[in-house]
Amino acid sequence: MKGSPVFFAVLLTGLVVGGFAVFPSNLPNAMAHFSETESGQSQSELPFTLRLDETVVLDEWSVEPALHLQGAGGGSEVLAEKGRELSLASGGAVVKSVGPWSGLYPDARGNAMAALALDFDEGGQGDAVGIRDGEWLRVGTDTAIHFRWTSSEEQARKRLADTPASMDSARWGAVDGRTVHWFSSFARGEGTRLRSGDSLFLLDFDMNWRDADRPGLGGRPAVQIRGIAGEVVYDQWYPAEANQAGVPVIFEYPASRKRLLILCAWNEEETLAGAYQDGQQTQAAKLQPGSAWRPEGSEYTLRWRRALRGAVFVPLEDSPFVAATLRYGEREIYVRQGEALRIEDYTVRFSPGKRLEAYRVSILRRDGSHEQALLQPGAPTAFHIKSEGNRYVLRHENVHPGEGVEVEVLPRWHWPLMAAGATLLIVGMMGSAVSQRRTHASV
């Protein structure tokens, strides 16, 4: 059975041309690098550039946060969800929350420091704050908190027994523009000449100075300063801890405040605390990491985080860390990511998990037009682009946040070629049919 060679040639041409036109092959993906400029200069052969505008953290987890316990009998893992319980020898620890962490980060080159938070009756739970060895933290108008790192519990008890209102915390300063010249000496004649040409000198110091205009305040520490401005000479008293904006002299004396809290630590696990009013100790306590203590007559609860011999304080706004907060008896324990914490006979670690992320991307074309796409996890969320007659697809799984997006390049439809190929295909098929009929007729 033989057909015409011409018909077979037409059929073969139609199949080849029509097949490639109607069913074009897939093209290799192209890498579109993220542009950091508004103009979006093309960095590849693609007719557009991509700019990553925002990474959106979703509520769904790709890896859930977990707590890992390791003891003599083996290890276990518990999801770090609110209300979950960790079984320990003496009872349990319950997960209270998971969230951003702020506190002390161990650093052998750092200072001895403490971290604490104050929960006020009005205002709710406060953020953690750091205080260095020897520093004072002022609270409101009448309270100050002082922290010291000591060599032993004996030294800590001795320091708490001393009169807290020592002159060690006192200093006065002459304001010189944006600079303050500080003096820890209260010797008569101590002072300085300012850039303006004026001079400020100490005349007197009185631990029980009384303001004649406000006799009801009682006595309090104050310094008398002589100011010389050209031919004008004046003498003025400045009371301690009454620093006001615009005054030429600042007198700091936090230990003279009405209420004091003195905190003395000698290791990471134990801290002695003393509360004082008008120079007399009214209460004492021993604190452990996570302890809560409310001094008598105060309007706040002190939450003691911890003390370290060498550390740096990481504030909440700068913290890259996440932690799980555990309720352990009367204490709150913070297990930070990357930290191995000892609780009873267990080593506890926290892995923060990972949330799913979406990416908001701008497509910047060569002609200056642009549009925005939100690439979310899941196949149905692919974003299609038409540009200069071609088609492209952006998918969430092809995003490389630090680099760019691997773009799927769809084949281009060549309509004239498709029409010609289809025509040749039809002609070839018709020719084949005619050839077959002629062959059957000749048999």
**Contact status, residue 294 vs residue 302, Cβ threshold 8 Å:** yes
194 pLDDT band, cuts 50/70/90, is: very high
What's this model's pTM, rounded to 2 decimal places?
0.70
What tens digit of pLDDT does each residue of 306-318 get? 999 999 999 999 9
| Cβ neighbours of 72 (radius 10 Å) | 6
Helix or strand (DSSP H, E) at 434: helix 415-442
**Contact status, residue 146 vs residue 260, Cβ threshold 8 Å:** yes
What tens digit of pLDDT does each residue of 83-141 get? 999 888 777 899 999 999 999 999 999 999 999 999 987 766 789 999 999 999 999 88
- The two tokens of residue 425 are 């295909």
The C-alpha angle 398, 400, 402, rounded to 5 degrees, equals 165
Rounded distance, CA 233 to CA 325, Å?
60
What tens digit of pLDDT does each residue of 209-224 get? 998 777 767 788 999 9
Q: What is the DSSP letter of 90?
A: T
Q: What is the DSSP letter of 16?
A: H
